[in-house]
Amino acid sequence: MAVLIYGGLGHVGSWVARKLIDQGQEVIIFDMGAARFSSLGLDYLEEVRDSITLESVDVLDSHTMIEMALKYRDKIDAIVFGVAVIAGPTFKDRPFRNVSINTMGLLNALEVARILGVPKFVNLSSGAVYGDRPGGQTEDTPFTVTDLYGATKVANEVLATQYGATYGFDVRNARLYFVYGPGKRPEIMHPLYQAMFGPLAGMSDVHSANGGDQELDWTHVEDTAAGILALLNAEGMNGEAVNISCGVAYQHRDIVDRVAKLLGKESGMTLGPGPFTPRGAPLDISKAQSKLGFAPKYANIDAGLADYKTWLDKDPR
Ligand SMILES: NC(=O)c1ccc[n+]([C@@H]2O[C@H](COP(=O)([O-])OP(=O)(O)OC[C@H]3O[C@@H](n4cnc5c(N)ncnc54)[C@H](O)[C@@H]3O)[C@@H](O)[C@H]2O)c1
């Protein structure tokens, strides 16, 4: 039996795929980037390429998606939905397209689960469902929407949970937060990410217009993926949402300083005042710890930064 990962070539999905394969699980990936696989620089997936069934699928093309899913109809015992346009300053520039990918894309994947009778569905959600509420948000903190991306995440949780309840399949929502690490090159990211993590890839002199006065629980991607796998595999979590982050908030200017210390030099990175995004931190991860046995390996960000540097130094592009 196999796990179907939508967005399995993305930052988070690719690590979920790798960890599932390491556990001996069969993996099918539906991702619009499939044709570009060999140029994505995902060395940890290339190592296990023979164990992956990879299909080029656009989540907005529901007919092709269902036809493709029917090819594997008796094999899929779980779906992980990780396609999204992620939060960032440009999300609002193309609202119809971005909301469609996130929410119509999810709806199409839920239809696959319904039509094929897939018993389990994990929706990759976000701490964005708490909007700008202050840190320490638990899974019982009410939904608060402070941007369009957050609106798609709230809508998706409600839709996914209700689809499961209506059609009798198990739905779980993994609320992720601010992921960094191997698989993502800083050069393709927004200025705040570049200013914090870019020096690890040799970048210098980036100015982020904001973010300097904010602290967030930046989470190493392998911890994020480990939490998702724990949620996927846990017994008795039907209908539950779980916060998955490192659980420790770091001030953004502190991250810049820690990177400089790791490298032994300053890289001329500057952060303007105010928050980068309307979010509080850190998420309360006690539910993941107690119900899933989740224990982030990189709760100390210095260890996560060193690991990220090791991957960037290899430059697997
Ligand atoms: N990265 C973060 O910091 C973060 C934080 C909280 C939640 N999340 C959530 O985690 C999930 C995964 O995020 P990520 O960082 O891996 O994103 P990502 O951008 O790295 O990956 C998204 C993947 O979806 C694919 N994709 C995009 N549009 C598609 C389409 N129309 N059809 C098919 N495939 C398409 C892309 O090719 C890519 O491989 C998302 O749901 C995101 O909202 C991420």
Predicted confidence (pLDDT) per residue in 80-133, tens digit:
999 999 988 789 999 999 999 999 999 999 999 999 999 999 999 999 999 999
Domain co-membership, 159 together with 114: yes
Residues 44 and 87 occupy one common structural domain: yes
Would 57 be classed as within a structural domain? yes
Question: Lowest-pLDDT range, 126-140, 158-172, 226-240, 303-317?
Answer: 303-317
Does the beta carbon of 178 lie inside 6 Å of ligand 1?
yes
Structural domain including 269 reads 180-216+247-279+298-314
In a domain, 289, yes or no: no
Q: What average pLDDT score do residues 248-273 get?
A: 97
CA dist., res. 106 & res. 104, Å (int): 5
Please identify which residue in the block is written with the tokens 């897939």. Answer: 118
Asked if 125 and 236 sit in the same domain, the reply is yes
Shared domain check, 272 and 229: no
> What is residue 90's predicted lDDT score, i.e. its pLDDT?
85
The finding on whether 307 has its CB within 6 A of some atom of ligand 1 is no
Residue 267 has pLDDT above 70, yes or no: yes
141 and 128 in a common domain? yes
- Give per-residue pLDDT as tens, 196-223: 999 999 999 999 999 999 999 999 999 9
Do 138 and 184 lie in one domain? The reply is no
Structurally, how many domains does the chain consist of? Answer: 2
User: Are 93 and 6 part of one and the same domain?
Assistant: yes
Whether 52 lines ligand 1, by a CB cut-off of 6 Å, is no
Are 120 and 198 part of one and the same domain?
no
Residue 292 lies in a domain: no
Residue to substitute in 12, 37, 60, 129 for testing ligand 1 pocket (most ligand atoms within 8 angstroms of CB):
12
Return the CATH number at 262.
3.90.25.10
Indicate whether 55 and 91 sit together in one domain.
Answer: yes
pLDDT given at position 316: 63
Tell me, yes or no, whether 288 lies in a domain: no
Residue nearest to ligand 1 atom 17, measured at CA: 10
Examine the domain organization and report whether 115 and 259 are in the same domain. no
Together in a domain, 92 and 205: no
Whether residues 188 and 206 fall in one domain = yes
Cis? peptide before 199, omega within 30° of 0: no
Cβ of 175 less than 6 Å from ligand 1: no
Distance of CA 101 from the midpoint of ligand 1 (Å): 10
Examine residue 284 and state whether it is found in any structural domain, yes or no: no
pLDDT for 217-260, tens place per residue?
Answer: 999 999 999 999 999 999 999 999 999 999 999 999 999 999 99
The domain that holds 81 is classified in CATH as: 3.40.50.720
Asked, for residue 307, whether it belongs to a domain, the answer is: yes
Q: Give residue 76's pLDDT.
A: 97
Model confidence, pTM: 0.98
